[in-house]
């Protein structure tokens, strides 16, 4: 029920107005002839509209206006007077009064003014609701744009706090290993101990029904600087595949009203959106984990068979990363670079041990077999969609800039940049490494070797980037 307050020191005027307002069914009309009592009521109860006389002995209607707006930001205040002056009218409107009625007024005019005021208030409140809905659309928009989990949770906490507006909000997620709820992020105004405990995920304060998975709502009245404040603790379960995987906790505070069902519904929608995003994130993470484990197993398989290249792929990656950074590659290309470096010799799996680990120079026939490893590697990994961007590293790392390399004999910039880069780094690390027939050389010798073959074996641009 919403409240209309009528204040006039003439009882009969109060009575007439009350009768006239009978048709405003959704509102309860409270009459006061004593402005002091009226101001006390206004300071301690929910108020939507105030209709007050301007002059009531020592107590002015302007004071009622001040008290009303100090306690109720969106209240509508209409002043009534039999002695209008332009100066007073301007002063009242400047202070935030909604309208001004001159006595004697027709009851139709009074009703029309009040209806207009309530419509205005309704629009303003709907505007606030719309702003809250925009918060939700900001969150869904961020998810659609592929926002990462932690920034998403920070965004949700900010948005939840703005929807209410809240004293604080937090996201708590269930840790699969420990089975405990762990705080992920929070916003908190002030240092109230029970608000802080609730936001941290103290389940005794959350009032969640774990069976029905319904939102937990707990209301209490507290005293803040001598004034009663209504506080609502709202705990929304984040449900994924039928299980509660976390909580979105919000604390709402208002002097006169608890959180309304519309606000809670909006928060629930936000909770459902976030739960779906978390579920997808977990699936992506598991997929990525098993993918990386597979890559690692393949890389280990290569190094286990090739005695001379232990640690080679790792060193190649570190150096290639340095050069790629100099070329300004983005994070996605850098991720492909890592996989490409680790897997570039995967085709050596198909080269017999006797050739792969032969300490002497290879015969022509053995060379032919050895030189099959780029194509073999591309064949092994071909057809796996997420490895497609990695194939140029595998297929083209033995091409030469002058077109004399293998397997395709590509020339210059026809060789993918991935292959040109890896050709330089692969050779550089090979010169630095010990071989059965010679010890490893130092970096200066390796750089000279690159320089000597720049433009023939190697891409000159990459050779330049190799310089310290
Ligand atoms: Fe190779």
Taking the centre of ligand 1 as the mean of its atom positions, its distance from the CA of residue 345, in whole angstroms, is 5
Taking the centre of ligand 1 as the mean of its atom positions, its distance from the CA of residue 344, in whole angstroms, is 6
How far apart CA 35 and CA 41 sit, in angstroms, is 10
User: Greatest CA span in the chain, whole angstroms?
Assistant: 119
The sheet carrying 227-240 orders its strands as 181-188, 166-174, 243-254, 227-240, 216-224
Q: How distant, in Å, are the alpha carbons of 40, 318, 347, 372 from that of 303?
A: 83, 17, 12, 18
Taking the centre of ligand 1 as the mean of its atom positions, its distance from the CA of residue 394, in whole angstroms, is 8
Angle at 184 between CA 183 and CA 190, to 5 degrees: 70
pLDDT tens column, 76-92: 999 998 877 778 888 88
Taking the centre of ligand 1 as the mean of its atom positions, its distance from the CA of residue 145, in whole angstroms, is 39
Angle at 49 between CA 115 and CA 229, to 5 degrees: 145
My answer on whether omega of the bond before 104 falls inside 30° of 0, hence cis, is yes
How far apart CA 186 and CA 161 sit, in angstroms, is 10
Taking the centre of ligand 1 as the mean of its atom positions, its distance from the CA of residue 290, in whole angstroms, is 26
Taking the centre of ligand 1 as the mean of its atom positions, its distance from the CA of residue 329, in whole angstroms, is 23
Give the 3-state secondary structure of residue 298: helix
Question: Contact, 255 vs 228, CB < 8 A?
Answer: yes
Taking the centre of ligand 1 as the mean of its atom positions, its distance from the CA of residue 373, in whole angstroms, is 7
Q: What is the pLDDT along the chain (468 residues), one digit of tens a residue?
A: 789 999 999 999 999 998 888 888 888 999 999 999 999 999 989 999 999 999 888 889 999 999 999 999 899 999 998 877 778 888 888 889 999 898 889 999 999 999 999 999 999 888 888 888 888 888 888 888 888 889 999 999 998 888 877 889 999 999 888 889 999 999 988 888 989 999 998 888 888 888 888 888 898 888 888 888 889 999 999 998 888 999 999 999 888 887 778 888 888 888 888 898 888 888 877 877 787 677 778 777 777 777 666 678 889 999 999 999 999 999 889 999 999 998 898 888 888 888 888 888 899 999 999 999 999 999 988 877 778 999 999 999 999 999 999 999 999 999 999 999 999 999 999 999 887 677 889 999 999 999 999 999 999 999 999 988
Taking the centre of ligand 1 as the mean of its atom positions, its distance from the CA of residue 326, in whole angstroms, is 24
Taking the centre of ligand 1 as the mean of its atom positions, its distance from the CA of residue 425, in whole angstroms, is 11
Domains with residue ranges and CATH for the chain: 2-125 (3.40.50.2300), 147-282 (3.30.450.40), 306-466 (1.10.3210.10)
pTM over 0.75: no
Taking the centre of ligand 1 as the mean of its atom positions, its distance from the CA of residue 351, in whole angstroms, is 11
Taking the centre of ligand 1 as the mean of its atom positions, its distance from the CA of residue 423, in whole angstroms, is 9
Residues 6+ apart with CB under 8 A from 421: 320, 323, 324, 459, 462
How far apart CA 192 and CA 111 sit, in angstroms, is 45
Taking the centre of ligand 1 as the mean of its atom positions, its distance from the CA of residue 377, in whole angstroms, is 10
Which residue reads 């629930």 in tokens?
268
Taking the centre of ligand 1 as the mean of its atom positions, its distance from the CA of residue 305, in whole angstroms, is 14
Q: How distant, in Å, are the alpha carbons of 173, 187, 206, 268 from that of 264?
A: 20, 18, 15, 6
How far apart CA 358 and CA 352 sit, in angstroms, is 10
Taking the centre of ligand 1 as the mean of its atom positions, its distance from the CA of residue 266, in whole angstroms, is 58
Taking the centre of ligand 1 as the mean of its atom positions, its distance from the CA of residue 159, in whole angstroms, is 52
């Amino acid at each position: 029920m919403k409240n209309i307050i009528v204040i006039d020191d003439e009882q009969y005027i109060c009575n007439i107005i009350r009768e006239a307002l009978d048709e405003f069914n959704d509102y309860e009309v409270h009459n006061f002839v004593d402005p002091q009592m009226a101001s006390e009521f206004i300071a301690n109860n929910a108020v939507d509209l105030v209709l007050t006389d301007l002059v009531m002995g020592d107590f002015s209607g302007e004071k009622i206006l001040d008290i009303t707006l100090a306690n109720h930001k969106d209240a509508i205040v209409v002043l009534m007077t039999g002695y209008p002056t332009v100066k007073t009218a301007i002063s009242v409107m400047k202070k935030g009064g909604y309208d001004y009625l001159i006595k004697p007024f027709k009851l139709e005019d009074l009703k029309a003014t009040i209806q207009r005021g309530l419509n205005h208030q309704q629009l303003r409140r709907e505007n606030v609701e719309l702003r809250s809905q925009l918060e939700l659309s900001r969150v869904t928009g961020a998810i659609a744009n592929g926002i990462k989990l932690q920034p998403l949770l920070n965004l949700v906490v900010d948005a939840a706090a703005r929807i209410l507006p809240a004293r604080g909000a937090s996201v708590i997620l269930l840790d699969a290993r420990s089975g405990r709820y762990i705080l992920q992020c929070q916003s908190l105004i002030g240092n109230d101990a029970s608000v802080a405990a609730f936001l941290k995920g103290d389940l005794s304060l959350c009032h969640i029904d774990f069976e029905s998975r319904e939102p937990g709502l707990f209301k209490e009245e507290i005293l803040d600087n001598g004034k009663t404040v209504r506080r609502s603790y709202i705990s929304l379960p984040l449900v994924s595949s039928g299980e509660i995987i976390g909580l979105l906790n919000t604390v709402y505070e208002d002097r006169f009203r608890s959180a309304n069902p519309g606000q809670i519904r909006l928060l629930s929608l936000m909770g459902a959106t976030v739960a779906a995003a978390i579920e997808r994130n977990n699936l992506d993470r598991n997929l990525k984990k098993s993918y990386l484990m597979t890559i690692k197993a393949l890389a280990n398989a290569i190094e286990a068979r090739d005695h001379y290249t232990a640690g080679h792929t790792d060193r190649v990656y570190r150096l290639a990363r340095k050069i790629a950074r100099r070329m300004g590659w983005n994070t996605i290309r850098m991720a492909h670079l890592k996989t490409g470096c680790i897997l570039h010799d995967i085709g050596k799996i198909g080269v017999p041990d006797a050739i792969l680990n032969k300490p002497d120079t290879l015969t022509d026939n053995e060379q032919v077999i050895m030189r099959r490893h780029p194509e073999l590697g591309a064949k092994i990994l071909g057809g796996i969609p997420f490895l497609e961007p990695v194939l140029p590293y595998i297929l083209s790392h033995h091409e030469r800039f002058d077109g004399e390399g293998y397997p395709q004999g590509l020339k210059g910039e026809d060789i993918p940049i991935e292959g040109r880069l890896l050709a330089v780094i692969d050779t550089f690390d090979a010169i630095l490494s010990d071989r059965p027939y010679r010890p490893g050389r130092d970096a200066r010798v390796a750089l000279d070797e690159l320089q000597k073959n720049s433009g023939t074996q190697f891409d000159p641009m990459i050779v330049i980037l190799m310089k310290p």
